[in-house]
Structure 1
Amino acid sequence: MVEHLGDIFGEQRALAAGRAFVDLSEREVIAVTGADRLSWIDSLTSQSLARLQPGESAETLLLDPSGRIEYAARVIDDGETTWLLMDAGTGAGFAAFLERMRFMLRVEVADRSAEYATIGMLGAREPAADAVSTLRRDADAPLGQRLLDVSAAPNGVPLVWNDPWTAVQPGGHQYARGAHPGADWSYREVLVERTRLGELADAPQAGTLALEALRIAAWRPRAATELDATAIPHEFDWLRSAVHLAKGCYRGQETVAKVHNLGHPPRRLVLLHLDGSDEVLPAAGDELRLGRPQDDGTVVGRITASARHYELGPIALALVKRSADPASELTVVADAGLVPATQELIVPPDAGAEVEVPRIPRLGAVRR
């Protein structure tokens, strides 16, 4: 794991153009085999996976009975095995949950993190191109082909995951309005046998800070950074890629439907443009207050991730209360000082309440 190699902005440019990869080998990999694997995971999680075809990519969330997010998984199926790509520190817990839910089904769950490493990259993407052909046609074709050459394919299908964040998925819903930066988010992950990582030693590489800056600019939520104990999908616009609103019952589905159809998420994700006049970069968990630094306003949220972007400057993702005025300036309370910030809406305050419920007249009321 390398945060940067000495040229943070240069690494971002190279990564965005498909000329560099990121070593994400601390991330975890869970494999599920057996004839019932897809219908079983479909019944437990938020995305429609029962008909996932070999080589297709998806994203799904495991919710608790109250609709709060417990785990997020990036999903590939190769026709024999469903591969769950997980953030570091989350794979073992998800695998343990799946083990408890096996009952008499034809499924087997295994943690394959010790065998497979995750490599991340971005690059040019053609409409309707699958993950493998896209990798071959990247702006820097030699790197894309090289990653494809070392990608794991234990059952004959290269394990290449294309991030569905690039568009609203079937059955999903987007709260963000207007142009969405996710449309240009051409991110993918490739699974590589750890014994073959050395074959990429001389390939162009970027650090994890470069990937983080590009992810934040794309408004892309991630389990390891954005989630806390009370997070629900609506707060991050995660219905866009990881939730199917019409697929039927799964754990937490009642909350998903109720908030989307009748209510509003209590918090909302925003992109913050930070004052770049000094070198203070907020950390995850730093408080957000309403108003300018001299106002000493009330606390309305917290930073989830921050970075210095090669075009946008200092930016951050933050969760704020739904009631916080979208037009208000905010102040980040960082250890090194107070940082002024302006909001860019991702999830608007009126997100949700998609179904208009007719008012029923009170008994005895007289119509005029």
Structure 2
Amino acid sequence: MTVLSEVHEAHGATFREVGGRRVVDHYGRSERTHRAVRNVVGVCEFGYGVLVVTGEDRVEYVDNAVSNDVPEDDGHGCYALLLDPDGRVETDMYVYNAGERLLVFTPPQRAEPLATEWSDKTFIQDVDVRLATDDFAVFGVHGPKSTEKIASVLHQASSPEELLSFNRGELGDAGVTVVRTDNLSGEESYDVVCAAEDAQPVFDTLVNRGLNAVPFGYRTWETLTLEAGSPLFDTEIEGRLPNDLGLRNALDFEKGCYVGQEVVSRIENRGHPTQRLVGLTVEARPEPGAAVFAGDEHVGEVTRAVDSPMREAPLALAAVDWELPEAALTVRVDGDGAAAERTALPFVEGSAPSARLPTY
């Protein structure tokens, strides 16, 4: 569950579950909050699962398991995937080299199974994998003024500049790690990581000290990320081929270290995947899984849809056939066909492009 339930309740929060973890859905007036994040800066508590990996062989072990190169130097991280033998995504993750340990951030429901799986496969290697979700709190800071926000409250360190790099410093009396994240909201962004027992003063500092920031929940997060064209694990990524999603930032195509990765490399080498992730502007908001048609031909399905405050229209991401017929697109809404128009991603140009923007 969220580390700060009572604090969020004091801000008027409504809660929901994401990956089995209780998180803030919204604080009310979601459209106003959304615009505040787009125009200035906002703070959200994220419900990551966390693993701590130690031992002399930690970097080699994790590097051999995932789709991207794990950095060998302290202060750097990567976005990576764990693939099944068919090349489909079992989980995505961020892996950070924190000196004598790796910190691995996953969707909350994937942390415990991943810890068990990796622990069972270490064999003779010097690797220890520990589930540490309850030890940490993670706050996302997003918006065009997020760098100014971090600078106004972070002491003993400067804001990191390179994507997925981090610096250690202090917010008030609490030690924190500040990560320059990959802009999934389409805005400049950071994750502030602290010990769970320091969560309350860190959240208070981020919201109320220095440059003020609006607190926001997962409803706003999902709308921001869809406008930015960012696929998310629960709605777009899980169980799909990364080639179909254009997730090039998660892949080193030269690794070929295991069967699933070899499948991904073969798809890359043959020219193009069978599907692609596209943006649609629709006349009425569909539900996830709604069928997409080109004329009378079924060509895909909606993965996620929102009513966009910035475009003032319903928007959707959809997984569709690579080659679409030359016919008008429609999406099923309440059993009827609603007109849809393919729209270039991102839907909204913010202060920084998302690193997950589909690239083919």
Q: TM-score range by the shorter chain?
A: 0.7 to 0.9
- How far apart in 1 are the matches of 2:123 and 2:40? 44
Quote the residue 1:205 is aligned against. Answer: 215
1:64-117 deviations in Å (ceiling 9; x for gaps): 122111110012221122111111312122222212221111111111112212
Give, in angstroms, the shift of residue 141 of structure 1: 4.3
Q: Hey, what's the Cα distance between the residues in 1 that align with 2:343 and 2:183?
A: 19
- Secondary structure in 1 matching 2:105: strand
Cα distance in 2 for partners of 1:83, 1:17 equals: 32
What CA deviation, in whole Å up to 9, does each residue of 1:312-341 have, x standing for no partner? 23211111122323x644222234854322
Query: Contact 1:18 / 1:140 at 8 angstroms: preserved in 2?
Result: no
TM-score (norm 2): 0.75
Cross-structure match for 2:245: 236
The answer on whether the counterparts of 1:78 and 1:159 sit within 8 Å (CA) in structure 2 is no
Distance 1:191 1:151 in 2: 14
- 1:221 is matched with 231
Answer yes or no: is the 8 Å Cα contact 1:122–1:186 preserved in 2.
Answer: yes
- Amino acid corresponding to residue 64 of structure 1 in structure 2: D
Equivalent residue for 2:282? 274
Superposition misfits of 4+ residues, deviation over 4 angstroms: 143-148, 150-153
Which of 127, 142, 145 in structure 2 is aligned with 1:107?
A: 127
Q: AA paired with 1:2? A: V
Task: Please state if 1:29 is matched with 2:50.
Answer: yes
Structure 1 residue 55: deviation in Å?
A: 1.8
Matches of 1:196 and 1:235, distance apart in 2: 40
Three-state SS of the structure 2 residue aligned to 1:3 is strand
Q: What whole-Å deviation, never above 9, does each CA across 1:234-260 have from its counterpart, x for those lacking one?
A: 111101x11012245244221121111
Alpha-carbon shift at residue 59 of structure 1 (Å): 0.3
> Take 2:85 and 2:173, find their aligned partners in 1: how far apart are those partners?
37
The DSSP-based 3-state class of the residue aligned with 1:72 is strand
Partner of 1:161: 179
User: Which residue does the alignment assign to 1:288?
Assistant: 292
- 1:1-368 alignment to 2 at 5 Å? 1-17=23-39, 19-24=41-46, 26-49=47-70, 51-124=71-144, 137-138=147-148, 141-142=151-152, 149=171, 158-164=176-182, 184-199=186-201, 200-201=203-204, 203=207, 204-229=214-239, 231-239=240-248, 241-275=249-283, 280-291=284-295, 297-313=296-312, 314-325=314-325, 328-335=327-334, 338-345=337-344
RMSD (Å), alpha carbons: 3.0
Bigger strand share: 2
1:61 CA displacement:
0.5
* Mapped partners of 1:221, 1:107: distance in 2: 32
Q: Which runs of 5+ in 2 are unaligned?
A: 1-22, 160-168, 208-213, 347-358
The alpha-carbon deviation at position 9 of structure 1 amounts to 2.4
Question: Larger C-alpha radius of gyration, 1 or 2?
Answer: 1
> Runs of 5+ in structure 1 lacking a partner?
126-134, 167-181, 292-296, 353-368
Q: Give the number of equivalent residue pairs.
A: 305
- Structure-1-length-normalised TM-score: 0.73
Identity of aligned residues (%): 25
Q: Deviations along 1:296-318, whole A, 9 cap, x unmatched? A: x2322111112222222321111
Determine if contact 1:151/1:193 at 8 Å carries over to the other structure. no
Aligned letter for 1:290?
Answer: A
Change over 3 Å in CA distance of 1:59–1:33 after alignment to 2: same
